[in-house]
Chain A
Amino acid sequence: MQDQGEPRSAVVAEAEFEPQAGGSDVLAGLLFATLGLVALWGGWAYPAGSSLDMGPGYLPRLVCGALVLTGIVMVCRNLRSRSLRLPTLPMRAMGCVAAAILLFAVLVERAGLFVACLVCVLTAALGDPLTRWREVPVVAVVFAGVAALLFGYLLKLPIRIWPL
């Protein structure tokens, strides 16, 4: 990457994501309410029973209802008073780390632990603005090797280690 060696603070200056005090209340409220509604809808078929003889649907309905209510109160309390500013997600780091974990999941049984670790480290390195690309392949091979040695041969976890 071209920003090699720059101090971390300079690199990320553009990606300020300090959460906004009031705005985050509205967003969190919306999130809670949506989650509650979706779960309410998903769990509608579970028999609720009565408070004296609770069925499997009793507590879910109670929790979802309270969640929707909490969300609505949060939105209403903050809607007018503060401007709605979204905290920006650290998309690059988040995407790369999540992708690294998912690739590990896909590869570990198909290609073995060594390859999975290798790909995981390389993918995660894409998410770090301070990555040194001459260093990364070495780091990846060393870490994958250590992982294979430690978990495969020393601890003898029942994990496939090599592709073949």
Chain B
Amino acid sequence: MSDVFSSIAGGLAVAATPANLWYCFLGALVGTLIGVLPGLGPIATMAMLLPLTYYLEPTGALIMLAGIYYGAQYGGSTTAILMRLPGESSSVVTCLDGYEMARQGRAGTALATAALASFLAGTVTTVLIAFFSPALTAAAQRFGPAEYFCLMALGLVAAIVFAQGSLLKSIGMILVGLLLGLVGADVNTGLDRFTFGVPELRDGVGIAALSMGVFGIAEIVLNLARPQQEGERAQPVSALRLTAADWKAAWPAALRGTGIGALLGILPGGSAMMASFASYSTEKKLSASPERFGHGAIEGVAGPEAANNAGAQASFIPMLALGIPGNSVMAMMAGAMLIHGIAPSPNLASAQPQLFWGLIASMWLGNAMLLVINLPLIGLWVRLLRVPYRMMFPAILLFCCIGIYSVNNSVFEVAMLALFGVAGIVLMLLDCPLAPLVLAFILGPALEENLRRAMLISNGDLQIFASPICIGLLVATGALLLMILIPSFRRTRAQISEE
């Protein structure tokens, strides 16, 4: 126990150095900015900034990238409340009651609720990460290849179950992702697979080109071709104050939201958006007067806003503790680590305690900074929305091109960016979810390696999958698969997809 506290203190010392504080602030600021701007998400932004972090010290780089992710969760709520324009997919739910509150002249209350709920969630989740990760890391020391295989299989199944839209499409996208992950020289034999004689492909498909293409470039094209989402005119900001009744209604909802968000965030394949939807429907079910929801219920702001922030931060747990990125944003974080020669693994905490604890401590500092960045500066963020897209998209495009090129100084990677951009557009128009694809792409190579290693160790004996940990993980996987068969779960899933 005291170990954790001394580690946190050490982490705070790392995070509070002027340089790291600056990167934390920068990340939170950029995160808020892209959270406010619709059409530019955290994944694309992180992919764009990834090459630049090459020039930073690794701890500072990761602190900044993390700040972008949770900062975007804060920023997204501002425009959702004031203009009914979700800046981020995870703040879609906040539009429902947040904008209603703003129309009733309670915009300030809604904004303060969102910011305070996010801060509460951020604080609780940071503590959770600090206590949970070492325990998980300790458990992971007993993990062999078979256990890793089961864990990753669980992650992929979770991604299928929790993805939106058609199940078959999610399965197909997982398989396409696995296939993309197979491209390159085989680790065990050195045989080139699916490289088509292109030497650049021997190292595999680049994660930056893939994620930037399917998320960033595809988004640009669809924005250009789609009628621009016109938000309502911004509602005036009233006093940032909560009455006693507001507090009473909001804090239990925020706490519940934090719990839901943390749970869904830890799950591989979970996301901040799912967490906010789950929290909203929970609050509506628990409420004594569910008819108020959609007409400015403060619980409908506090719960989901806490949930998406908690979800965003909790998704760091599997990555930091087990070295397994649970969603595509974490994959970008893993990519950033790899750029600095740090392999994400359960040994991260013992091998790089400065980085591990510094990053965790920075999250709490970042959340405190976000409170300051968001509340007094709201007017500035709203004004930013007036920058027309025709000025914004060339800048985004240039950043993507230069960013990709500078990863390896490779022209080939830039061409891949165009290819994945087109692929992303086609898949989006076919309603195929892209997050499972990227997740499978990341987990695929490790999945194969661990499976083959497990089989090698056990000499082909399937008994190796009979360890208690494996059985637990496989049971969890089976339970997730069974959930799809439960009619009420299917209905909820379809409902969420529709909304």
Using a CB–CB cutoff of 8 Å, the interface residues on chain A facing chain B are: 8-9, 12-13, 15, 17, 19, 21, 24-25, 27-29, 31-32, 35-36, 39, 42-43, 46, 50-56, 58-60, 63-64, 66-67, 70-71, 73-74, 77, 87, 89-90, 92-94, 97-98, 100-102, 104-106, 108-109, 113, 116-117, 120-121, 124-125, 127-132, 135, 139-140, 143, 147, 151, 155, 157-159
Contacts and interface: CB of A to CB of B under 8 A. Distances in A.
Given A89-B425, A105-B414, A120 B401 contact: yes
B200 to A, nearest CB: 12
A50 B455 CA distance: 11
A101 B418 contact: yes
A60 B452 CA distance: 13
B242 interface: no
Contact of B398 (A8, A21, A121, A132): A121
B139 interface: no
A160 B475 CA distance: 55
Contacts of B55: 155
Given A8-B228, A35-B179, A159-B409, A98 B172 contact: no
Given A35-B179, A121-B398, A51 B455 contact: yes
A1 to B, nearest CB: 11
Task: Determine which residue in B176, B401, B426, B431 has the highest number of CB atoms from chain A within 10 A of its CB, and name it.
Answer: B401
A143 B421 CA distance: 22
Contact of B430 (A24, A54, A56, A106): A24
Given A90-B425, A106-B411, 9 more contacts: A24-B429, A28-B172, A29-B172, A63-B179, A71-B172, A89-B429, A97-B221, A100-B397, A135-B390
A73 B172 CA distance: 11
A39 B459 CA distance: 29
Contacts of B393: 124, 128
Task: Determine which residue in A97, A100, A131 has the highest number of CB atoms from chain B within 10 A of its CB, and name it.
Answer: A97
B395 A143 contact: yes
Given A42-B194, A54-B451, A93-B225, A70 B401 contact: no
Interface in B431-455: 431-432, 448, 451-452, 455
A127 to B, nearest CB: 6
Contacts of B388: 130
A32 B176 contact: yes
B169 A128 contact: no
A49 to B, nearest CB: 9
21 contacts: A13-B227, A35-B179, A56-B193, A59-B178, A66-B171, A67-B172, A89-B425, A89-B426, A93-B221, A97-B421, A98-B418, A102-B418, A105-B411, A128-B224, A130-B390, A132-B390, A135-B390, A143-B398, A147-B402, A155-B55, A157-B402
B398 A147 contact: yes
Interface in B340-389: 388-389
B182 A131 contact: no
A94 B389 CA distance: 16
B166 A97 contact: no
Interface of B: 52, 55, 166, 168-169, 171-172, 175-176, 178-179, 182, 186, 188-189, 191, 193-194, 196, 217, 220-222, 224-228, 230, 388-391, 393-395, 397-398, 400-402, 405-406, 409, 411-412, 414-415, 417-418, 421-422, 425-427, 429-432, 448, 451-452, 455-456, 459-460
Contact of B394 (A28, A102, A125, A130): A125
User: What 5 pairs between A and B have smallest CB-CB spacing?
Assistant: A52-B460, A90-B225, A9-B227, A105-B414, A56-B186
Contact of A54 (B226, B395, B405, B452): B452
B414 to A, nearest CB: 4
Contact of A87 (B220, B417, B429): B429
Nearest to B196: A42
Give the secondary structure class of B's interface: helix
Task: Determine which residue in B189, B394, B405, B409 has the highest number of CB atoms from chain A within 10 A of its CB, and name it.
Answer: B394
A83 B222 CA distance: 25
Nearest to B217: A97
Given A12-B225, A108-B414, A157-B406, A139 B172 contact: no
B455 A53 contact: yes
Contact of B168 (A12, A64, A74): A74
Contacts of A29: 168, 172
Nearest to A52: B460
A92 B225 contact: yes
A59 B225 contact: no
Contacts of A13: 227
Contacts of B222: 90, 93
A101 B430 contact: no
Contacts of B460: 50-53
Contacts of B391: 139
Contacts of A92: 225
A101 to B, nearest CB: 4
A77 B169 CA distance: 12
A143 B394 contact: yes
B484 to A, nearest CB: 15
A157 to B, nearest CB: 5
B374 to A, nearest CB: 27
